[in-house]
Each structure stands twice: as structure tokens, then as C-alpha cells.
A and B are shown apart, each in its own frame.
Chain A
Amino acid sequence: MKLEGTYLFGETREQVWSTLMDPDAISSAIPGVEEFVPLEGEEYAWRAIAKVKMAAVSGRFPGQVQMSEIQPPTSYRLTVSGEGQGSIISGSVVMRLEEKDGGGTVLHWDAEANISGKLARIGQRLIKAAANMMSKRFFGNLARQIRAPA
């Protein structure tokens, strides 16, 4: 399943980039994250547990989050994998930042997600809508953090 979209930030590209590279910002932006612990010896990989509710499936999905293909201050790939409730979720999103004429930053995102097991079978039609909603929440959360840096 492929998903894509854009999100408009009022801030500069550098401000958005530094938030995107902040693990705390990422972990609190991903909906439902309950644990986000760096993997030993890895700078850009974390062990995570997320609570997910999608269609008739809900529960905790332990998994991994990883950043790669990092090209400051324009783009990187965020890869997520999780397993639980008889289902396997894996996917990655490439986020690319573009300065907008007249100020602000456009974030283009291209995601590919693979869903196996129970989640794939139940409410498949709802998954795309749910994924879109979750991505909106993710970027909305990010935007709030840029506006109110910790």
C-alpha cells in the first residue's frame, strides 16, 4: 500500500529539520507510542512499543524505528516495523523538505506500508483512511513541537 501527501509548516526548513532529527520529538509525534528506547550501539535506531487501534484490531505492537538515508537538511527515510495481534506491520516513509516561496516549509512524504495477518484481512478498506489520519496526527504533533520547543 502506497500513501503520499504534503504538510505545510510555518517555520523555516532548518527549524523543521532539527525537530525531525530529534528522537524525542519523533517518539511523541507517533500516535500511541508507549516506549522508545535507543538500540544499543545504534545512533539512529530505536526499540518501540506502540498501542494501535485499527478497525477491529487493537493492542500493543512491539517493533523498531530507524532513520536512514539522512541528507541534511532536506530528507531522510523513517522505517517502522512492528508485530503483534497476529499481524505484522512494516513500512517506511521518505520525508523531503522544500522551502516555500514567501516563507514556511513544505514537507513531502512518500510512504509504503505492508500489512500482514489479521490487520490485512479486517477492515482493509479502513486502513488507508486510518493511515492517512495517523499521518495527519503525526505531522500535527510535530508542528506543535516546533512551535513550542521543549
Chain B
Amino acid sequence: MAVVGKAVKRKEDPRLITGEARYLEDIKLPGMTHIAILRSPHAHANIVSINSERAAAVPGVIGVFTGQDFMDVNPLPCPWPAGGVDNNLNTPRALEVEKVTHVGAGVAVVVAEDRATAQDAVELVDVEWEVLPAVTDAEEATFDGAPQLHENAPNNVCMEWDCGDQSGTDAALGSSDVVVKQRLRNQRLIPTPMETRGCIAQHEAVNGEYTIWMTSQAPHVHRLLFTAFIFGVPENKVRVISPQIGGGFGAKIFMYPEYVLTTALSKKVGRPVKWVETRSENYIATTHGRDHVTDVEVGANRDGTITGLKVRTYANLGGTLSTVAPGIPTTLYGRMLSGAYKLPNIYCHVTGVYTNTGMVDAYRGAGRPEATYVVERAVDLVASELGMDPVEVRRKNFVPADSFPYEPSGNLLNGLSYDSGNYDKALDMALEMTGYEDFRAEQAAARAEGRYLGIGLSTYIEICGIAPSAWMFGEGWGAALWESANVRMHITGDVVVTSGSQSHGQGHETSIAQLVADELGVSMDQVHVQHSDTLGTPFGYGTYGSRSTAVGGVAVWRSLQRIKEKARAIAAHEFEANVDDVEYVVNDEGVGVVQVKGSPDQSKVVGEFMGIATSAAGGWDLPGDMEPFLDETAYYDPPDCTYPFGTHICIVEVDAETGNVGIKRYIAVDDVGKVINPMIVDGQVHGGIAQGVAQALWEGAQYDENGQLVSGSMMDYAIPRADLLPSFELGRTETPSPNNPLGVKGAGETGTIAATPAVVNAVVDALSHLNVRHIDMPLTPSRVWETIQSRSNGGNS
């Protein structure tokens, strides 16, 4: 009868597929006003003057405001500067006042009775600009003579950060049999959720309270930033509600200028204010992801043992810092560069750089896809240099299954350790599913016919359940990262769980209900999971970093244990038995009962009307020292993160004539620890692979030399389509995490982390007979074709 581990259909889906779900755009308040934001058309410019007379005169316009009108509102905070180093912080304001550093920065706003009027009137705001030269490449921005964006950031450097062992790595590279060097570009991506961002704010002047509906992955964090950092008001004055969210991928974690602007305006105009981002705005005003330029050096001995890995990365952070921008290319990138391998020497140096581009922050995987790309490409480069099979190089260097917990060398993880793993097992399963040896024969035969088949592996690991508060504090994060949950069993026996984490597609309402149903012995229908409203839920840090189950789920589990203890105590009183003699068991029918050990006739159902739930909630007959109600709150701050792993294998055919890459097969074996709902995990893996493949082959934000985003619409920016992808072949191993009582690790990002290098490795493998060792992403037909042409003409990489 247990439901954990079963592919239970999602409780949230009926409202989603019938159209009953309410998104931000569906919300309309009496007296609501609408805004349009004037955004900079220039990548780098001083604001000389703004004249809003013409716009203000348009009928239906309530007011036109500029940055000067919001000088009493603090600039947005950056609560995660890179840890342990100086950061030259520059964050946006609600509207920029003196200068803009990227196309799309807001400089004025029109408030009007309706959206169309606001959008028409904003065209009539006249801005006099002093246009400045722009720089968009992170490395070039650090060169002498490059345009300077911020006074406090010489050479546009936000921070220099490093990890690992520099001298040890240099020495190891110096004494290795071979050293392979490669420059790798991890191109900028635009998250492109189906629903763009939005915000509705209402201010009640009488009590000074704000209610803010917003597209938020982390409502409590948003409230924290609004109250403590931006407006300087206490928590009870701000209620943040996140309605149904149409995809976030990380981009909806952050505090954005528009949220602050909308909220501040609601007080200024004394009416509710609504802002909904247009698709066009989404490309320039919502955060982007990735954008690294990396030089990697990897040393190895002839037998395939990797001796050292040295990584030098320029991370493009955009014109100003988004909320956790510096933390992503440092902690979540550098510290993951040991991958699945026992590398004796690792060193990573990251320069975080301002450029005249949109803000860059966490995007699905956040740092780990970039790290995995470096490591998995490096391993293939070693294999290619030594003429070894990439499978053998991987096996040779894997962290052995008996070495866990494993602490990467050089204090790379700053005190944390990989929790558990069996990397060979996942690799074996994936190779078996693929028919690896048969493929190599097929590949050789195809080559003889002039057909280019290739296979690529990615034996990734990642870090999930992002937490230990103390560790994250040491990494520069300015808050904590525990989670909390409240569980209440009502008088009817139904259970309401409120959680500080938030669901925007992950299926919390189902997987948490599965946990509760099994633990308490109630039906799935009796469990109601509520989230996304700061008024009705305990504090939580939100949903990202695949942490909802590994951290938030454990907080629920802890509450459930307390509920069970109290149910036993109440039952002991009813049975006139000693509490130690009363047990809470879930019987063969899946019904939770309390009973006296060894005398099953003294037993009572817990989760039903007139069951223990009713005894507790009614409280008519309780001992004097016992409080009524089965209502428990628990907090959970784990001792370490969790470390999922697996093997992804991609088989491609490269069209020698056109350079087009076709994916023939995609095999993914993931180990995400204990699985609560395999269907939900499969869904996460599917979507993740699609996004990871898309980075390898199609996606890429493009700026021109003036800092104009030229891939700013769905006509110009590629996103993956189902018809471009094969049916994925999924497998799974299950290695529980010892770091939490559920044994779970996290499954939200494995696909994006693993897929990208698997695809690139496959394409390079397909062209290896032409001496191709690397091609930068995206591997578009023209880029691949040009590579084939240059090699066919006798060139060498």
C-alpha cells in the first residue's frame, strides 16, 4: 500500500490541464493600475536628462516617474557575494538614475489606467543619452583601455576568487606525462520560461501593509529582501504570494528592479499596481545564465591517471549584479571541479566581470553545468591525447565506491564531502543499455561509408540539497539555508502541510503528500500541501538547487515524527496505558493506527473523524499537561549537501555534407538517491536533458559589438523542440544519501548538468578521425560544417 516509490499521478495536474490554475496575469484587483517601463536602448550610456511632459499629458496616464522619485528606496541587495574575498558590488535600483550598463535597464515608468495606455505613453518619454562605448566579452572587459562600467570596479572586475591547491597543481602539471590545454566557451543562455515575470502590489495606507503577488520561486526570501534590505519595514508589513508559476529555471529566485518598482508605486499612487513582463522584455530584463570563458589544463600519465586540473575562468556577470550572481561561478562552480574523479590536484581561479550585457545569475544547474562541462570535456581530451577509450579513462579515475564519504583534494569543497556513490555501477548500466561495444563496431563501419557517427559520455556528479547554513555562510551567503514545515492533522483526520519551499512545476503537492501518506497511514486524498504564501506558511528559503525534498522534505518528515509521538501519547491516555507500550503502526491496508503493543484489540485509527485526530483536535479529554491538536512544526538544517551522479550517453550522427547534428539515441542513468515518485523524476530528467542538449546544439544569446542583444525574440533565440529530440532511454540506480533520514538527493537539474558535455563529446567523437578535438557550443550546422571543411583541407586543431 505504500505510495513512496510509486508513479502516483500528480495532485496538481487537474487544475493545470483544465485551465483552472490561476497565474499572475489572471489576477485582477479593483482599481488596479498598470505600468510600462522605459528601458535603455543603449548598452552603456549616461542619462543626461529625462523629460516626461508629453507622456504625462496622455489621457489615462496617472503619473510618470524616474529614478529620482525612488531615492528613498535602497538599491537591490546582493546577499551572496563571492566568499572570502573582496567584491566590488554594483546592484540595480528600482530605476537607474545616472547611468545604464546594459540594454533593458529601466529609467522611467508610466502608471496608467490600462496597460495599452501605459505602453503608448512610455514611448513619449524623452531621454537625452550620452552614449558610451560598450564591452560585452568578459575577458576583453578586463583589458586595459576597455570601457569602464563602475567606478568601484577597476578593469570591470567584481571579484577574484580561487579554490584548491595552486602550487600542488602547478607541480603536478609540470611532472605529468602529458598536459592538454583547451579554451572552452560556455555560452550565455536565456532561461525562457513559458510564463514571463510579473508583479502586482497593493498597499494599505491605514496600516502600512503591502500585499505582493509575484512570480517567485522563493516567496519568503523575497519578503526578507523587501523588508530587511529594501524598504526597511518589519516582516508583518509585507505579505508575498506566489500564484501558479509557469516555469522558473532559477530566473524567478531573484529580486528584480521591477518588483521593487511596482511595490513602491503601489504606495505612491495609492492604488494596486500591476506589471507583467512582455516576452520582448523577458529577453533583456530577466537574468541570463552561464557565459564563461575558461582555459583548462589537464595533466595525465600514460596509463590514463589524471594528475592535475587547472582551471582559469572569466565569468560574465552582466552590467550589474543580480541577487546571487557572484555565488554561482564561485562556490557552485569551482568547488565542483573534481567531478566524479579522485583528482590529486585541482586549482581554479575565477574572475567575475562586469560587461554591458544583461544580468547573469543561476540558471537550471547553476554553476554545476559549467563545472561538469569543463571536467567531462577535460577527461575526453585526455582520452583523445592518450589514444584511450574515454570509458577507460573515466573508470581509471573514478572515486571508488568504497571511498565515501569522499573529500575532494585541496580542500576544494571547503569542508564538505561527497555523501555516497557507486559511479561504476551507473556507468555499467548505461553502457549495457547502449550496447557500447556494438556501437564502436557500427561506428567504424559507418565511417567506411563516409557517415559520421559519434558517442559521448558524461559521468557527472552534482551538488544538491544546497544547505548547511554554517557552510553557506562561510561561502559568503548572507543568510541561512534551513527549511521548515508545519503539519496539522485536523479534526476530520485530513492533514495540511505548509512548507516554506515553493513549487513551480516540481510536484511538491504530490511528492510531499506521498511522504505524509506513508508515514502517517492516511490516503493521498487526505493530504493537502500548501505553499507559496508567506502569511500561511512557515519561513523557508525556497526552491532551487534541487533542495526541496532533501531539505524541505526532511523538515516535513521531522514534523511527522513529532505528530506520531503526540498521537501515541494521546492514545496512551485513552487506553490508560504507558506511552512506551503504545506504538504507531501503518497496517497492511496502509491505515495508520495507534495500538498497545501485543494487544491489538486496544487500537484506534489516527487519521479519521472520531479517530485520534479528533481526540487531539477536540481536546475534551486530555491530561492536564497536554496541549490539544496534532500540530507540529520542524526545522531542518542538514549536515552536508547531497551528491547525485550518473552516466549520460549520447549517440549522434553528423551530416558530413551540411554539418547538421542529429541525435540518434540518448541514454540517461541517474542516481538521485531514494526516489519518491519515479514519474516526477523522469519528468525532471526529460526537461533537463532537453535544455542541456539545447545548449550543446542550438541555444546562445548573441550581443553585437555595441551591446545590442540580437537574439531577443523567439524568432531569433533557439529553444528546444520535441521534434528535434529522440525518445530518451532512462535508467536509474539508487544509492541513498546517508545525510538525511529519507535517503533522498535531488533530481531537478541532473539533465541540464549531464547532457551538455555528453552531446559535445559525441560530436567531437564523430569527427575524431578528422583530428577534431574540440568545437565550441552551440554546435550549429554552420560551425560543425566549417570545422569539417577546415580539417578536410588538412588543418589540425
Q: Which residues of A contact B (CB under 8 A)?
A: 1, 55-56, 84-88, 114-118, 120-125
Determine if A114 and B713 form an interchain contact, defined as CB atoms under 8 angstroms apart. no
**In chain B, residues 687-745, which have Cβ atoms closer than 8 Å to a Cβ of chain A?**
704, 706, 708-713, 715-716
Tell me whether chain A's interface is mostly helix, strand or loop, or mixed. mixed
B40 nearest in chain A by CB position: A117
A116 nearest in chain B by CB position: B41
> If A86-B41, A116-B103 touch, does A124 touch B280 (CB 8 Å cutoff)?
no
> If A86-B123, A124-B710, A124-B711 touch, does A117 touch B41 (CB 8 Å cutoff)?
yes
Contacts of B42 in A (CB 8 A): 88, 116
The distance in angstroms between the C-alpha atoms of A124 and B702, with both chains bound, is 11
Q: How far is the CB of B298 from chain A (nearest CB, A)?
A: 38
A-contact bits for B122-136, CB 8 A (1 contact / 0 none): 010000000000000
Cβ-based interface call for B346 (8 A) = no
B713 nearest in chain A by CB position: A122
Determine if B39 and A86 form an interchain contact, defined as CB atoms under 8 angstroms apart. yes
Q: How far is the CB of A2 from chain B (nearest CB, A)?
A: 11
> If A86-B41, A115-B708 touch, does A121 touch B283 (CB 8 Å cutoff)?
yes
Q: How far is the CB of A30 from chain B (nearest CB, A)?
A: 22
Determine if A120 and B710 form an interchain contact, defined as CB atoms under 8 angstroms apart. yes
Contacts of B123 in A (CB 8 A): 84-86
The distance in angstroms between the C-alpha atoms of A122 and B716, with both chains bound, is 7
Cβ-based interface call for B527 (8 A) = no
Contacts of A1 in B (CB 8 A): 704
Contacts of A121 in B (CB 8 A): 280, 283-284, 708-713, 716
Determine if B710 and A117 form an interchain contact, defined as CB atoms under 8 angstroms apart. no
Determine if A116 and B713 form an interchain contact, defined as CB atoms under 8 angstroms apart. no
Q: List 14 A-B contacts (CB under 8 A).
A: A86-B123, A88-B41, A118-B41, A118-B280, A120-B709, A120-B712, A121-B283, A121-B284, A121-B708, A121-B713, A123-B715, A124-B711, A124-B712, A125-B716
Contacts of B704 in A (CB 8 A): 1, 120
Q: How far is the CB of A32 from chain B (nearest CB, A)?
A: 18
> If A85-B123, A116-B706 touch, does A56 touch B713 (CB 8 Å cutoff)?
yes
B712 nearest in chain A by CB position: A121
A126 nearest in chain B by CB position: B715
Find A116's partner among B280, B708, B715, B716 (CB 8 Å cutoff). Answer: B708
B127 nearest in chain A by CB position: A83
The distance in angstroms between the C-alpha atoms of A120 and B42, with both chains bound, is 11
- Additional A-B contact list (13), CB under 8 Å, known A116-B42, A121-B283, A124-B711: A55-B715, A56-B713, A86-B41, A115-B708, A117-B103, A118-B41, A118-B280, A120-B712, A121-B280, A121-B711, A121-B716, A122-B712, A124-B710
Contacts of A84 in B (CB 8 A): 123
> If A86-B123, A116-B103, A117-B103 touch, does A123 touch B713 (CB 8 Å cutoff)?
yes
The distance in angstroms between the C-alpha atoms of A87 and B39, with both chains bound, is 10
Contacts of A55 in B (CB 8 A): 715
A-contact bits for B659-689, CB 8 A (1 contact / 0 none): 0000000000000000000000000000000
The distance in angstroms between the C-alpha atoms of A121 and B102, with both chains bound, is 13
A57 nearest in chain B by CB position: B280
Contacts of A56 in B (CB 8 A): 713
Determine if A124 and B706 form an interchain contact, defined as CB atoms under 8 angstroms apart. no
Q: How far is the CB of A114 from chain B (nearest CB, A)?
A: 6
A118 nearest in chain B by CB position: B280
- Count chain B CB atoms within 10 A of each CB in A55, A87, A116 and give the residue with the most: A116
8 residue pairs, one from A and one from B, having the closest CB atoms: A121-B712, A117-B41, A120-B708, A124-B710, A116-B41, A122-B713, A88-B41, A121-B709
The distance in angstroms between the C-alpha atoms of A114 and B705, with both chains bound, is 10
The distance in angstroms between the C-alpha atoms of A125 and B782, with both chains bound, is 15
Q: How far is the CB of B782 from chain A (nearest CB, A)?
A: 13
The distance in angstroms between the C-alpha atoms of A114 and B43, with both chains bound, is 13
The distance in angstroms between the C-alpha atoms of A120 and B715, with both chains bound, is 12
The distance in angstroms between the C-alpha atoms of A74 and B458, with both chains bound, is 63
The distance in angstroms between the C-alpha atoms of A56 and B669, with both chains bound, is 44
Q: How far is the CB of B102 from chain A (nearest CB, A)?
A: 12
Determine if B715 and A122 form an interchain contact, defined as CB atoms under 8 angstroms apart. yes
Q: How far is the CB of B128 from chain A (nearest CB, A)?
A: 11
Contacts of A88 in B (CB 8 A): 41-42
The distance in angstroms between the C-alpha atoms of A84 and B127, with both chains bound, is 12
A124 nearest in chain B by CB position: B710
Q: How far is the CB of B186 from chain A (nearest CB, A)?
A: 23
Contacts of B283 in A (CB 8 A): 121
Contacts of A114 in B (CB 8 A): 706
The distance in angstroms between the C-alpha atoms of A120 and B39, with both chains bound, is 14
Contacts of A115 in B (CB 8 A): 708
Q: How far is the CB of B10 from chain A (nearest CB, A)?
A: 36
Q: How far is the CB of B710 from chain A (nearest CB, A)?
A: 4
The distance in angstroms between the C-alpha atoms of A75 and B698, with both chains bound, is 44
A55 nearest in chain B by CB position: B715
Q: How far is the CB of B285 from chain A (nearest CB, A)?
A: 11
The distance in angstroms between the C-alpha atoms of A50 and B379, with both chains bound, is 57
> If A116-B42, A118-B280 touch, does A124 touch B103 (CB 8 Å cutoff)?
no
B706 nearest in chain A by CB position: A114
The distance in angstroms between the C-alpha atoms of A88 and B128, with both chains bound, is 12
The distance in angstroms between the C-alpha atoms of A115 and B706, with both chains bound, is 9
Contacts of B715 in A (CB 8 A): 55, 122-123, 125
Q: How far is the CB of A58 from chain B (nearest CB, A)?
A: 13
The distance in angstroms between the C-alpha atoms of A120 and B774, with both chains bound, is 31
**In chain B, residues 99-127, which have Cβ atoms closer than 8 Å to a Cβ of chain A?**
103, 123
Contacts of A87 in B (CB 8 A): 41
B708 nearest in chain A by CB position: A120
Determine if B41 and A123 form an interchain contact, defined as CB atoms under 8 angstroms apart. no
A123 nearest in chain B by CB position: B715
A85 nearest in chain B by CB position: B123
The distance in angstroms between the C-alpha atoms of A86 and B708, with both chains bound, is 13
